[in-house]
């Protein structure tokens, strides 16, 4: 068989019966990391700036890249962007730093000055090259009307021009909620104990009064047995006086 670019070679450098798809490279330069490759996987006369990756981990979204565009041995948390739109200032980013399919209205800040309270913001919520005179930059009017949802408040407690509904809801303070429930339960237990004590006291007092009243109509014979006293009404008293007379 005839092969335009010769035969492929095995690990020992011997020809095998397969045609080489890539033409021999005629570059007389040494590249520490080898040559770049074209779409067919053939060497180009350009040095590869990135060393071969030695990472043996699987990453769903590939590896993070350094400032030179070379793979780092760290997984990228961001899926590949699927937005077919052009944004002059790039895309907005989520909390992980991944691009959202929304254009960022703010250009990159190019101010080489330090401000104690940060920079002022324009009507789009973008920083401008002027120092704010207070901790929160003053916003005259936001371009977006967020209605009843209100605006998002940043980590410094300052209002931004981004609608709160576009941000993930802040979870409630679970600890404060649990403490409140425990306090309510403790108050309920204390009040219940007081109520039970009052009821028991009244019940015992009523029983003691009834027993005392019942014992007042009893007398005891020589054998220690109780016997009921005769009624001591006025008529009985008069009859006793007559019999004594």
Q: What is the per-residue pLDDT for 180?
A: 87
Average pLDDT over residues 74-82: 81
Q: What b/e string do you get for 36-46 counting C-beta neighbours within 10 Å, with b at 16 or more?
A: eeeeeebbeee
pLDDT value of position 169: 47
Whether pLDDT at 173 is above 70: no
What's the confidence (pLDDT) of residue 229? 52
Domain ranges of the chain: 78-108, 111-182
Rounded mean pLDDT of the chain?
A: 75
Q: What is the pLDDT of residues 20-73, one digit of tens each?
A: 778 777 788 888 888 888 887 788 888 888 887 778 888 888 888 888 888 888
Q: Do β-strands 159-163 and 151-153 pair in parallel, antiparallel, or remain unpaired?
A: antiparallel
Q: Are strands 91-93 and 35-37 parallel, antiparallel or unpaired?
A: unpaired
95-104, 155-164, 207-216: range with highest mean pLDDT: 95-104
Q: Which two tokens stand for residue 208?
A: 């003691």
What is the enclosing helix (H) or strand (E) of 242? helix 234-244
Radius of gyration of the chain (CA): 47
Q: Over 70: is that where the pLDDT of 13 sits?
A: yes
Q: Is the pLDDT of residue 186 over 80?
A: yes
Asked if 229 and 217 touch (Cβ cutoff 8 Å), the reply is yes
Per-residue confidence at 223, pLDDT binned at 50, 70, 90? low
Where residue 191 falls among pLDDT bands split at 50, 70, 90?
very high
Give the residue-averaged pLDDT of 95-107: 83
Q: What is the enclosing helix (H) or strand (E) of 190? A: helix 174-215
Tally of CB atoms within 10 A around 80: 8
Q: How far apart are alpha carbons 224 and 85 in whole angstroms? A: 109
């Amino acid at each position: 068989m005839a092969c335009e670019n010769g035969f492929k070679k095995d690990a020992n450098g011997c020809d095998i019966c397969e045609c080489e798809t890539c033409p021999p490279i005629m570059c007389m330069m040494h590249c520490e990391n080898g040559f770049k490759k074209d779409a067919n996987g053939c060497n180009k006369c350009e040095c590869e700036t990135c060393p071969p990756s030695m990472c043996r981990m699987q990453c769903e979204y590939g590896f993070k890249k350094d400032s030179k565009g070379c793979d780092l041995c760290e997984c990228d948390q961001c899926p590949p962007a699927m937005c077919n739109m052009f944004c002059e200032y790039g895309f907005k980013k989520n909390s992980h730093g991944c691009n959202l399919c929304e254009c960022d209205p703010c250009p990159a800040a190019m101010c080489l000055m330090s401000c104690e309270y940060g920079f002022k913001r324009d009507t789009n919520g973008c920083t401008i090259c002027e120092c704010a005179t207070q901790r929160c930059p003053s916003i005259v009017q936001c371009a977006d009307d967020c209605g009843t949802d209100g605006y998002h408040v940043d980590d410094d407690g300052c209002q931004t021009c981004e609608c709160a509904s576009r941000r993930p809801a802040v979870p409630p303070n679970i600890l404060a909620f649990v403490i409140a429930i425990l306090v309510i339960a403790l108050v309920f237990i204390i009040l219940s104990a007081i109520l039970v004590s009052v009821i028991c006291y009244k019940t015992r007092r009523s029983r003691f009064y009834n027993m005392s009243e019942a014992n007042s109509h009893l007398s005891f014979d020589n054998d220690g047995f109780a016997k009921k006293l005769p009624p001591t009404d006025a008529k009985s008293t008069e009859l006793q006086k007559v019999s004594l007379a």
